[in-house]
């Protein structure tokens, strides 16, 4: 069974498992396994060739902003309007095939704006050029999500799901959990607030899934098992999200 099949099987198991006190340890382990397999998808393949043309854009300026969206929602038009860079726009899908950078000059600051190819559902699993697009998005300081006004809510949920599945955390702070692996001494588990989502047993089970048997863990807030797993994995990216509808006359901010 390949990684994608393992991920699908775990997701099905999570969806059909009722969430209650009796199943919290089982769900915690499933989520830990799921995070491990998803992390493996992001690892570059040893058999892969050169990087995708146009995707290895050097980060420059004071901030990097990535335009994310499905095909033909106005990303290229937005880039051309906001910068001096011309990005090809047409009435057919997948006009943009590479990462096209532009620069916005605002009050002395240079903001790098990236027009990324449209992604499709399943991008996180490698469909289309999804992994390459998402890899660039992980390097951005801000993500602008471009949406079709006629199906914006559906597209927003799908895009957020794709980004979340590869460790991009939108509009949420990094969990306030102190975690440090040790060479010995077992698990040192403490909290400064009452915990309603994680117990010492659950924390220990999740750590064992990652082959960690000695560590210091201090919860400074009432975090969930998913947030604790994010801290263990350590490669999560926390990005500010700006969601926008693309209409005939204007772009309207709908979510920050």
Domains of the chain: 3-41+173-233 (no CATH), 63-168 (3.40.50.300)
Locate 135 and state its tokens.
């890899």
Q: Indicate whether this model's pTM tops 0.75.
A: no
* β-bridge mates for residue 170, sequence order: 239
Q: What is the pLDDT along the chain (256 residues), one digit of tens a residue?
A: 677 788 889 989 999 998 888 888 899 999 999 888 877 766 655 444 444 444 567 888 899 998 888 888 888 888 888 888 766 554 434 444 578 888 999 889 999 998 888 776 665 565 656 677 777 888 888 888 888 888 878 888 888 888 888 788 888 889 999 999 999 999 999 999 999 999 999 999 999 999 999 999 999 999 999 999 999 998 888 886 655 444 333 333 333 3
- Sequential DSSP letters for 13-60: HHHHS--STTTHHHHHHHHHHHHHHHHHHHSPPTT--SPPTTT-PPP-
Q: Which of 4, 148, 150, 5 is nearest to 70 (CA)?
A: 148
Using CA atoms, how far apart are residues 156 and 242, in angstroms rounded to an integer? 11
Which residue bears the tokens 């975090």?
223
Distance CA(63)–CA(41), nearest Å, equals 27
């Amino acid at each position: 069974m390949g990684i994608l099949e393992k991920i699908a099987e775990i997701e099905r198991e999570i969806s059909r498992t009722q969430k209650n006190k009796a199943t919290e340890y089982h769900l915690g382990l499933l989520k830990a396994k799921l995070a491990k397999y998803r992390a493996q998808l992001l690892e570059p393949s040893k058999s892969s060739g050169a990087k995708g043309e146009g995707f290895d854009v050097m980060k420059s300026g004071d901030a990097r902003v990535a335009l994310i969206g499905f095909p033909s929602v106005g990303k290229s038009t937005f880039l051309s309007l906001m910068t001096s860079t011309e990005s090809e726009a047409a009435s057919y899908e997948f006009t943009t095939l590479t990462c096209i950078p532009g620069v916005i000059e605002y009050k002395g600051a240079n903001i790098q704006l990236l027009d990324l190819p449209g992604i499709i559902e399943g991008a996180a699993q490698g469909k289309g050029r999804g992994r390459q697009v998402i890899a660039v998005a992980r390097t951005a300081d801000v993500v602008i999500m471009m949406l079709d006004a006629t199906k914006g809510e559906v597209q927003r949920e799908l895009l957020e799901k794709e980004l979340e599945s590869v460790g991009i955390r939108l509009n949420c702070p990094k969990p306030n959990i102190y975690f440090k692996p040790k060479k010995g001494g077992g698990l040192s588990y403490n909290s400064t607030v009452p915990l309603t989502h994680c117990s010492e047993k659950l924390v220990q089970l999740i750590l064992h899934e990652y082959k960690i048997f000695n560590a210091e863990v201090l919860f400074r807030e009432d975090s969930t098992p998913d947030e604790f797993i994010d801290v263990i994995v350590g490669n999560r990216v926390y990005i500010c999200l700006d969601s926008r509808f693309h209409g005939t006359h204007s772009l309207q901010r709908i979510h920050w």
